[in-house]
Amino acid sequence: MANTFLGVLQNRNFLKLWIGLTGSQFAYNVVNFVIVLHIYDLTKSSTSISLVLIAASIPSIIFGPFSGILADKVDYQKVMFWASILRMLAVIVLIFSKNNVLGLLEIVFLISAISQFFSPASSASIPLIVKEKKLVAANSMMVTTTYATMLLGYSVAGPLMGLLTTKGALLFSAFLYLVAAYVINSMKKYDYKKESKTSLTRISHGVEHIWLQLKDSVLHLIKNHDLYLPIIRLTLSWAMLGAFIVLIPAFAEKEIGLSTRQVGPYIVAPAGIGMIIGAYFLDKKKSFLYNLATNIGFSFAGLSLLLLALYRYYKEVPSALIIAIVLMVSMGIFSSVVYISSQTMLHIKADSHIRGRIFGISSMLMSVAMSLPAIFAGGISDLTSPMTSFLVLALGVLVYGLVGFFRVRGNELYIGSKNVS
C-alpha cells in the first residue's frame, strides 16, 4: 500500500491515536475560543481576551521543555489517557465558573498545562506504532490535523455557543475529551519500556541537561542566518495571529456588525480556507525563492488586513461583507505562504541531531509571540478603537514585508529542487 494518509490509517493503532489526537485537539481549540468569545461578551474588552492567550501560552514555556522528560518515564498510552481525562474534568469545572473571568483563566491555564504532557507522548508514540517507511506520511498527517483542528475549532466555537449555549459548547468539548480517552485506552499496548521512578535528583539533572542543550542551541541559531531568519518570521506570523484573535471579536462587532457567534464562520473559517488554498498552490509550485515568497506573504497579508481595517469606509456597499470574507481568504493564503515556507526552511537547514531542539525553541518563541504582543493590541483597541488597532497591526505586517524587498539578500535560497547563489 502506498505511503499515503489512507495507507497509514490502515494501521489500527495509529488510527486510534489519530482519532484521540483529533478529538482532544479539537476540544482544546473549541474550549479556548469559546472562552475568548465568552470573556469578550462579559467584559467587552480586547485586553481581557489577550489574558486568555497568555493563560494558554505560558504553560508551554514553563512545562514544555520538561514535559517530554517526564512523559518518557511513564507509559505513553497512560500519559495520553490521563491527560484526556484530567482535561475533561477541568472543562466540567470550567462550566461552573463560566461567569468568573479569573476562574476561567485559571482553568484555561490548567488545561494548557496538562496538554503539554499529551503532546510529547503522542509524538513519541508514532515511531513505536508506524513502520519507518510510513513515518513521513504519519507525521504529515499529524501536523495537518493539528492546524486543521485549530481552524475548525475556532470556526465552530461561535455557532456551537449559539446552538448549545456556552455551557453546552463546553459540555460538548468535555465529551470529546472522554471519547479521546476511550479510544486511546482501547489501543493495543505498544510502549514496553520499564517505567522508572522520577526522583528530585533525576529531575534536577534533567533540568540542568536541558538548560545546557538550550544554551548550545541558541548559540547555534545566532550564528546561522538560515535558521534564525525563518524562526523570526514564524515568530512574527504568530504574533500577527495572536493580535488578530484578540482584536477580531470587537472589530467584527463594532465595525462589521457581526455578533461574536458569527466571528467563526464569517471571519475565521474563510482565513482557514485561504490557508488550505495557499498550502495547495505552494505544494504545486514545488520550488520557489524563500525570501521572495515570505516577503510577498507578509506584504499581501498586511494589505488584506489593511483593507479589512478600512471596512467602515465601504460598509454601505451591498457586497461589503463578501469583500471582507474575500480579504480573510486572501490573508489566509498569504499567511500560509510565510508559515509553510519558513517551517520547510527549518526542516531543510536544521541538522538532524539538533532539529528537535530548534523546533522546540521555535515553538517556545511562537507561544510567547502569540500572547505578549496581544496585550498591546488589546490595550490599543480598548483605549482607542478596534479599527485603530487593526490599522497598526496591518501596517506593521505590510511594512515588514515591503522592507524585506529592499534588504540585501546575499545568497538567496530555493525551497525545492533548485539551490542558487
Q: What is the predicted pLDDT for the residue at 373?
A: 75
pLDDT in tens, 183-239: 999 988 877 666 555 555 655 665 666 666 666 666 666 666 667 778 888 888 888
Q: What is the predicted pLDDT for the residue at 173?
A: 94
Is pTM beyond 0.95 here? Answer: no
331, 274 Cβ separation under 8 angstroms = yes
pLDDT at 4 over 80: no
Architecture of domain 206-421: Up-down Bundle (1.20)
**Out of 139-153, 335-349, 402-416, least confident range:** 402-416
CATH code of the region 1-189: 1.20.1250.20
Indicate the pLDDT class of residue 67, thresholds 50, 70 and 90: low
Indicate the pLDDT class of residue 308, thresholds 50, 70 and 90: very high
Q: What is the predicted pLDDT for the residue at 65?
A: 61
Instruction: Find cell 524562526 and name the residue.
Output: 231
Q: Which whole-number Å values give the CA distances from 185 to 128, 172, 182, in the listed order?
A: 16, 20, 5
Query: CA-to-CA distance for 253 and 387, rounded, in angstroms?
Result: 11
Task: Write the CB contacts of 97 (distance below 8 Å, at least 6 apart in sequence).
Answer: 103, 104, 107
Query: How confident is the prediction for the chain on average, in pLDDT?
Result: 79
Q: What is the predicted pLDDT for the residue at 3?
A: 47
> Where do the domains of the chain lie?
1-189, 206-421
Could you check whether 1-189 and 206-421 share the same CATH topology? Answer: yes
Indicate the pLDDT class of residue 280, thresholds 50, 70 and 90: confident
- Torsion angle of alpha carbons 153, 155, 158, 162, nearest 10°? -100
**Out of 77-81, 159-163, 242-246, 356-360, least confident range:** 356-360
